[in-house]
Structure 1
Amino acid sequence: MADWRIGFARQRITPPLGCEMAGFDARMGVANAVHDDLHAHALIFDDGGTQAALISIDVIAVSAEFSLAVRRDIESSTGIPAGNVFLAATHTHCGPVTINGFFNQGQFLDPAYLLSLHEHVVSAVVRASESRKPRVLKTGMAPVEGIAVNRRTPDGLPVDPYAGVLAIEETDGTIAAIAVIYACHTTVLGPNTLSLTQDFPFYTLAKLKSELGDDVETLYFNGAQGDLSIGHKSNLSAVGIIDPFRTFATAQRLGERLADAVLAGLPTLTPEASRVQVLSKNVALPLKQYEPLAVMTAAREKAGRAIVADRMDAEMLAIRQQSLYARIEEYHARLYEESEAPEPKTLTVEFAAVLLGETAFITLPGEIFIRVALAIRAASPFAKTLFLGLTNNYIGYLPDHEATRDSGYEVVASRVPAIAGDILQSEAASMLHALKEAL
């Protein structure tokens, strides 16, 4: 099992104070403190013939353009093919602005910070590549309860009931690094938080270090978290209603609960034979169609005029939500109109299936609803099938059919209809079966 050559490294990416923060339309103010540092973590897996890099970045999202530029530089610096490099955002809403989208229209994208982030990610991967040595990879799926809930359903289900766990051991059996993959919005902290923070994963990783040793590298990847959070409703949060439980104390309680689940699952992890396989594909997803942009702009202006600044009663909350929805739909209508694709217009996205031993990973280019992911897992020929959310791109939400029937914030904010989830499921299942047949 020591045929692997595995390396890892991390790089601090905390922006300077005074920067704008991404994630909440209702946030007022800029970063005024650092609760905990943000990082880029890199894992390199080398089976002697093929290499892959899994990179976790403590930011809200990365654009396709940013990730492609970084991946190309990584290829030129390390020899790892750009197609085998995966930049996965943890989706913290208490970090810097790294992308413009429906949720932060017009926020300032600091080119100096983006350049620094680019360089830091490449540096982390280069150092991880240089640190490769014979190590053992063990993987598993640890049961988790009492953290994520489905924020769109009365009973809080479905969720992903597992955390993926990757344990990297030295050849003498000591743990060198632990990667946790768990599907949940990293939004315990709300728009009133002006401290830079990883959110609850900070406490997960801190507790793992406290239990396993300070020299153990710990890192977090998000999963198919599109409709999963820790209990607050997105339509209320988006207009500035902050539940009282959204505190650092709650982040610590839930983060440590996740760490406990991972620690309990360590004895069940199994070694993986040295094997790296990657299949990637560009897939065209249909886009929603909108009324002409002028019509959408008029609707947005009308909705905005109905807002009374000092009112937050139930009626006014509904008006504020409608105004937000109108702004989002105008934004998407503009993107649709500006797209040069022929009718019916589509959005081309890259996603991949990655095999490490016999543990499979599907990369997701945005915020995928959990029913879509669970359907992929059910169709997978691999007992351990995990998801890397917000990877190499950000296309926003991708809802399932049941959610679409109920509409709501995430469905309005999605650029694609529910059939896009069917396409993603079919393509992912096809790639997973192709990987299985190649074994």
Structure 2
Amino acid sequence: MRVGHGSADLPVPDGTPMGGYLDRPGPSAGLLDPLSVEAITWFDGERRFALATADIICVNEDLAHRVRSEARSLGCELWLAATHTHSGPETGCVPGGGPTPGAWLDRLSEVVGVAVRRAIDNECPCDGEARRGELHGVGADRSQPSAPAVVPLTVIAVHERSEKGERVAGVLVVLPVHPTVLPATSRLVSADLVGAVRRALRARLGPGVWAVVATGAAGDISTRHTRRGQDAAELDRLAGMVADRCLELLREPPDRAWAAGSRVAWAARRLVLDPAGPGEGAVAADPAELVRGLRAAEESGDPVAVRMARSRLEGVRARSARANPIGVHVHTARIGQLSVAGLPGEPFLAVAESITSEGPVMVLGYVNGYPGYLPTAEAYGRAEYEVLVSQVAPGSAEMLAGAARQLLEDM
């Protein structure tokens, strides 16, 4: 198996509309850290598979269609995943999906192509190892203040083989946490938590070792109850915790992901999700009542309660009346013994945890489309932001997980 990595910068001019927060005070006005597109390719001698991550809020289907079509001209099956930074450009992120602004459709297509071509050019013989463990103190259920701050962390180590021996060429980390440390008031462009983790890993792994961080199923997981601030120092603190845990896992016994003679395969299925009905996700969702709840939270002086109350109100205001079903794609791949699932939009973590297969498994969110939040069926009984703003009917997330499991079983 030959594996390559490529990277390309994604500049964001000052004055660019930013995605992620409804109450952003204005367009971008400076740079905290640069955005990028990172790509990894796997080539078994016949078939080439590529995973690209872009520091943007979401990947709409029009963008996914264009970059995937262009990658086919390179003989490559491509998945494009958003890291979901809320401090990058607005790329048309609306509940249920929408069009990508024309300028960003062109710019992203170009940058993704550059990163993928660089990865192909850098391919060399590599083995892969998979490790998985618990990460404490970084992410937790953002709607449940008392929930334990524990999430699964997946680390794929890529070992380059040559006449000189074997070395770690790079790592792929799947982090199922909303990368939202910086506040809505910030107008500085940043890859937020994902970018900080990349930097921390590269610093710890040393020169010549690449690091790619993909956002997992983070629909209900964030740093809301674990962060101590919302600035660059807090980004570094949390990123250091993630990077240190990755290094701990790299010292533990691995599962074999792929080896020299391994093969690559992939499959996809299109599903049609029913829209949420008038009463679904509307428990205690009267706007006037939510306004009173926000005022009570503000009077309490509890910043977490204020943020949660404001989120509920934002959910009701942001949700549109949608009568049409939403078409989505579920993607799966096999890279040797490693099973990979790419889900669109923002699935809840429990959705990813239900996708199992023989051997190591990694599940990515925000891949090749944006239907919005994908809560578990159980979550629809709670009037929380993710449910209130969701455009799909209860059971949709479980349908996607079931399709992923079946695709992996059939491969």
Equivalent residue for 1:131, pick from 122, 138, 141: 122
The structure-2 alpha-carbon separation of the partners of 1:168 and 1:96, relative to structure 1 and needing over 3 Å to count, comes to farther
State whether residues 371 and 400 of structure 1, in contact with CA within 8 Å, keep that contact through their aligned partners in structure 2.
Answer: yes
Distance in 1 (alpha carbons) for counterparts of 2:354 and 2:132: 17
What are the superposed Cα offsets for residues 321-343 of structure 1, whole Å, 9 maximum, x if unpaired? Answer: 675344323x2x1x42xx4xxxx
Give the SS at the match of 1:404.
Answer: helix
State whether residues 276 and 392 of structure 2, in contact with CA within 8 Å, keep that contact through their aligned partners in structure 1.
Answer: yes
Q: Match for residue 294 of structure 1?
A: none
Give the SS at the match of 1:173.
Answer: strand
Distance in 1 (alpha carbons) for counterparts of 2:84 and 2:294: 32
Distance in 2 (alpha carbons) for counterparts of 1:381 and 1:320: 39
What one-letter code is carried by the residue in structure 1 that aligns with 2:68? R
| 1:39-50 pair list within 5 angstroms | 39-50=36-47
Distance in 2 (alpha carbons) for counterparts of 1:220 and 1:18: 27
Equivalent residue for 2:186, pick from 184, 189, 193: 193
Quote the offset at 1:314 in angstroms. 6.7
Quote the offset at 1:254 in angstroms. 0.9
The structure-2 alpha-carbon separation of the partners of 1:265 and 1:307, relative to structure 1 and needing over 3 Å to count, comes to closer
Percent identity among equivalent residues?
A: 27
- 2:383 is the counterpart of 1:407: yes
Q: Which structure features the higher share of helix residues?
A: 1
The structure-2 alpha-carbon separation of the partners of 1:254 and 1:207, relative to structure 1 and needing over 3 Å to count, comes to same
What one-letter code is carried by the residue in structure 2 that aligns with 1:366? G
TM-score normalised by L of structure 2: 0.87
Quote the offset at 1:385 in angstroms. 1.3
Give the SS at the match of 1:162.
Answer: strand
Equivalent residue for 1:255, pick from 239, 242, 245: 239
| 1:24-423 pair list within 5 angstroms | 24-76=21-73, 78-80=74-76, 84-102=77-95, 110-157=101-148, 160-171=151-162, 172-232=165-225, 245-267=229-251, 268-271=253-256, 272-273=258-259, 274-290=262-278, 313=299, 324-329=314-319, 331=320, 333=321, 335-336=322-323, 339=324, 346-376=325-355, 380-423=356-399
Distance in 2 (alpha carbons) for counterparts of 1:143 and 1:47: 32
Quote the offset at 1:218 in angstroms. 1.3
State whether residues 70 and 122 of structure 1, in contact with CA within 8 Å, keep that contact through their aligned partners in structure 2.
Answer: yes
TM-score normalised by L of structure 1: 0.82
Distance in 2 (alpha carbons) for counterparts of 1:286 and 1:74: 31
What one-letter code is carried by the residue in structure 2 that aligns with 1:87? L
Give the SS at the match of 2:199.
Answer: helix
The structure-2 alpha-carbon separation of the partners of 1:8 and 1:149, relative to structure 1 and needing over 3 Å to count, comes to same
Distance in 2 (alpha carbons) for counterparts of 1:269 and 1:259: 17
Quote the offset at 1:113 in angstroms. 3.5
Tell me, which stretches of 5 or more residues in structure 2 are unaligned?
Answer: 280-285
The structure-2 alpha-carbon separation of the partners of 1:391 and 1:168, relative to structure 1 and needing over 3 Å to count, comes to farther
Tell me, which stretches of 5 or more residues in structure 1 are unaligned?
Answer: 234-242, 292-298, 340-345
What one-letter code is carried by the residue in structure 2 that aligns with 1:187? T
Q: Match for residue 283 of structure 2?
A: none
Distance in 1 (alpha carbons) for counterparts of 2:10 and 2:29: 16
Give the SS at the match of 1:22.
Answer: coil
Distance in 1 (alpha carbons) for counterparts of 2:107 and 2:26: 23
What one-letter code is carried by the residue in structure 2 that aligns with 1:163? T
State whether residues 303 and 323 of structure 1, in contact with CA within 8 Å, keep that contact through their aligned partners in structure 2.
Answer: no
Kindly report the root-mean-square deviation, in angstroms, between the aligned alpha carbons of the 2 structures.
3.0
